[in-house]
A and B are shown apart, each in its own frame.
Chain A
Amino acid sequence: MRDALADLAVYEPEEGEIMEVSMGPHHPSTHGVFRMDVKLEGERVVRLKPVFGYLHRNHEKIAEHGAYLSAIPYTDRLDYLCSMTNNWGYVLAVEKLAGIAVPERAEYIRVIVAELTRFQNHAGLVGFLLQDMGASGTPLMYAFREREKVLDLFESLSGARMMCNYMRFGGLRVDATASWLAEVRQLVGRLPRFVDEFENLLRVNEILMARTQGVGVLPRELAINAGVTGPMLRASGVNYDVRKVDHYGVYDRFHFRVPLGEHGDVYDRYMMRILEMRETVKILEQAVRDIPAGPIIDPKVRLRGLRPKAGEAYGRIESPKGELGFFLISDGTGNPYRYRVRPPSMINLTILEDMCLGENIADTVIILGSVDIVLGEVDR
């Protein structure tokens, strides 16, 4: 942290010196309807208050009023860039609640679609982050070109590009055909070239380094105390990945490393996404190689009219943005008594002020960009 920050903590502004700026909710840099109430002294941020809730749409209450099945398409709309991982988090919670086993082939296809989701999310995030820094268009265009190929695969598998509604308790809705898996293999073969090029594009760029290194530092202790998860936490040097610590799905069978940052600044968070894309490609290569044949769903599972025994369950997965958890309480009826989402983007957003204090107003934009938020998930 800078020395300036220590001074600012006891800084008592005089009348007329502080300017208040309301950034958002319709600001192009806030990635949706999100507002930052910023107090500025000159160009420097002395106070920042994140204001969200503009996209609140009663997600949890809707899910409590419907059957267990009918909540799945709503989870697509939480983090609308990563519908597959949202589906997985929810069905994992229901599977724990009702004690449903998942066939092996379904677990492998889940890993494949989740890792493809992670890849396209990180590509898109890095594209948007660079766009926020002023690299207008070019990196974002390359990122979206690759994202498009992943979305094409999702469409031919599940019928929709973004709102996939693909997973079910106990398995999947439709099976992946041999030709679909062949397409995935082909795409996975081409992805390393894309990651190399994408990294070379700006990794050692002097302007990018000057803009991002040492900016928006998130100290390790603060990250842990604030409950930050995902690439943000790992960029601060904490080795915590739900795939490794919670052993959900079949992640234990794949060899992959968890990249860690050192400084916890915007540059580390940017590099974290690039490195995770490489690990994702590794997992994908192993998954498409080892995928077994077999059923994709237990035929005895009751999708309609599922009534789990009274109890509670918490299912969590490593979504591209962090730990995505679903907490369910059942009272034995056909709809959950309580349904709660632990959204990674919202919790990662709570420490925005600590990262922005003492920085320039222009840097708040890239600090927010490096958090990786999707307002559908923040506001629910």
Chain B
Amino acid sequence: MVGEGLIQGLVETARNFFGSYVDKERLTTVQFPEERLPLPEASRVFPILLFDGGDPEAGLRCVACQICEKECPPRCIHIEKSKDKKPDFVGKQQFYPAVFDIDVSVCMSCQICVEVCPFDAIRMDKEFELSTSDRFGGLLWTKEQLAKPNDYYKKIHPEESAETDERRVKELADARAKAAAAAAKAKAASAAPGSAAGNGTEAVKEPEQKVTPQ
């Protein structure tokens, strides 16, 4: 019969229309600015730099190794290494980035910088409402804008950060145990000859700044 196909289609439309009142699967719309769906754990937008403790300058995890700068596919990261060094979280003297800029108008959110970072210093943010009226400076983020505390990272990626923190606590414990063992050895060595103490113990002094990852 002519028109049968039309009617069959209309039945489906009606099924979807009335079904949308009772079936959640048929009505998936949310009214966006007022109503927001939670973002998944893995969700990613643009990179941030993490720091431990309260001071973004002293606690910045980045050691300016420039691996992310080299591996970034669109080359949107610009790093200038510092001249002096500062201690990292286990107390080892490391360089730090004098300049760390990310041009987010070039960044393509691929997360390769996060994957290649050996220091857990760079992670992905979930903030996506980033429009700005400044076309030039507004999209070039400096080290100060990129630095975020570890607490913030814990808030946006709870599972991932738990894993990272666990590893870092272990690293810190290992480093301390190693330092303690070295100190004990040096002490024993200095105790044996008797008088020539001093030089050996000085080299393996305790980390100046103990910043525990929170």
A interface with B by C-beta (< 8 Å): 66-67, 69-74, 76-77, 138, 142, 145, 148-149, 152, 155-160, 163, 165, 173-174, 190, 197, 200-209, 303-304
Known: A156-B42, A204-B4, A206-B2. A70 touches B16 (CB 8 A): no
Residues of chain A lying within 8 A (CB to CB) of residue B15: 197
Whether the pair A209, B43 counts as a contact (CB closer than 8 A) is no
Is B22 part of the binding interface, using a Cβ–Cβ cutoff of 8 Å?
no
A151 and B81 CA atoms in complex are apart in Å by 40
Of residues 19 to 47 in B, which have CB atoms within 8 Å of A's CB atoms? Answer: 25-26, 28, 39-44
7 A-B pairs with the lowest CB-CB distances in the bound complex, closest first: A73-B110, A204-B5, A156-B40, A70-B73, A159-B42, A159-B44, A205-B5
Residue ID in chain A nearest B29 by CB atoms: A145
A204 and B1 CA atoms in complex are apart in Å by 11
Known A142-B16, A206-B3, A303-B115; 15 more pairs at CB < 8 Å: A70-B112, A148-B28, A149-B28, A155-B40, A155-B42, A156-B42, A156-B43, A158-B42, A163-B108, A173-B115, A201-B12, A204-B5, A205-B9, A209-B5, A304-B67
A138 and B108 CA atoms in complex are apart in Å by 33
Known: A159-B44, A174-B42. A67 touches B8 (CB 8 A): no
Min distance, Cβ B24 to any Cβ of chain A, angstroms = 11
Whether the pair A163, B40 counts as a contact (CB closer than 8 A) is no
How many A-B contacts if CB must be within 8 Å?
Answer: 83
Residues of chain A lying within 8 A (CB to CB) of residue B144: none
Residue ID in chain A nearest B72 by CB atoms: A70
Of residues 139 to 193 in B, which have CB atoms within 8 Å of A's CB atoms? Answer: none
Residues of chain A lying within 8 A (CB to CB) of residue B42: 155-159, 174
A204 and B9 CA atoms in complex are apart in Å by 8
One digit per residue, 1 when the CB lies within 8 angstroms of any chain A CB and 0 when it does not, for chain B 104-139 equals: 000011111001100000001000000000000000
Min distance, Cβ A369 to any Cβ of chain B, angstroms = 19
Residues of chain A lying within 8 A (CB to CB) of residue B73: 66, 70-71, 73-74
Count of residues in B whose CB is under 8 Å from the partner chain: 33
Known: A149-B28, A156-B40, A159-B42. A69 touches B12 (CB 8 A): no
Min distance, Cβ B67 to any Cβ of chain A, angstroms = 8
A160 and B128 CA atoms in complex are apart in Å by 12
Is B93 part of the binding interface, using a Cβ–Cβ cutoff of 8 Å?
no
Whether the pair A145, B40 counts as a contact (CB closer than 8 A) is no
Residues of chain A lying within 8 A (CB to CB) of residue B41: 156
Residues of chain B lying within 8 A (CB to CB) of residue A209: 5
B interface with A by C-beta (< 8 Å): 2-6, 8-9, 11-13, 15-16, 25-26, 28, 39-44, 67, 71-73, 108-112, 115-116, 124
Whether the pair B44, A200 counts as a contact (CB closer than 8 A) is no
Whether the pair A155, B43 counts as a contact (CB closer than 8 A) is yes
Residues of chain A lying within 8 A (CB to CB) of residue B16: 142, 197
Residues of chain A lying within 8 A (CB to CB) of residue B72: 70
Residues of chain B lying within 8 A (CB to CB) of residue A73: 73, 108, 110, 112
A71 and B108 CA atoms in complex are apart in Å by 12
Residues of chain B lying within 8 A (CB to CB) of residue A207: 6
Residue ID in chain B nearest A173 by CB atoms: B115
Q: Please, could you name 18 A-B residue pairs with CB atoms under 8 Å apart, sorted by A?
A: A67-B71, A69-B112, A70-B72, A76-B110, A155-B39, A155-B40, A155-B42, A156-B41, A158-B42, A159-B43, A159-B111, A159-B124, A163-B108, A165-B112, A204-B4, A205-B9, A206-B2, A206-B3
Known: A148-B28, A200-B9. A304 touches B116 (CB 8 A): yes
A154 and B116 CA atoms in complex are apart in Å by 22
Whether the pair B112, A160 counts as a contact (CB closer than 8 A) is no
Residues of chain B lying within 8 A (CB to CB) of residue A197: 12, 15-16
Min distance, Cβ B30 to any Cβ of chain A, angstroms = 11
Residue ID in chain B nearest A174 by CB atoms: B42
Min distance, Cβ A24 to any Cβ of chain B, angstroms = 27
Residues of chain B lying within 8 A (CB to CB) of residue A201: 9, 12-13
Residues of chain B lying within 8 A (CB to CB) of residue A72: 110
A201 and B14 CA atoms in complex are apart in Å by 11
A336 and B210 CA atoms in complex are apart in Å by 45
A258 and B124 CA atoms in complex are apart in Å by 41
Residues of chain A lying within 8 A (CB to CB) of residue B8: 200, 204-205
Min distance, Cβ B157 to any Cβ of chain A, angstroms = 10
A142 and B12 CA atoms in complex are apart in Å by 11
Min distance, Cβ A47 to any Cβ of chain B, angstroms = 35
Residues of chain A lying within 8 A (CB to CB) of residue B111: 159, 165
Whether the pair B110, A165 counts as a contact (CB closer than 8 A) is yes
Whether the pair A69, B6 counts as a contact (CB closer than 8 A) is no
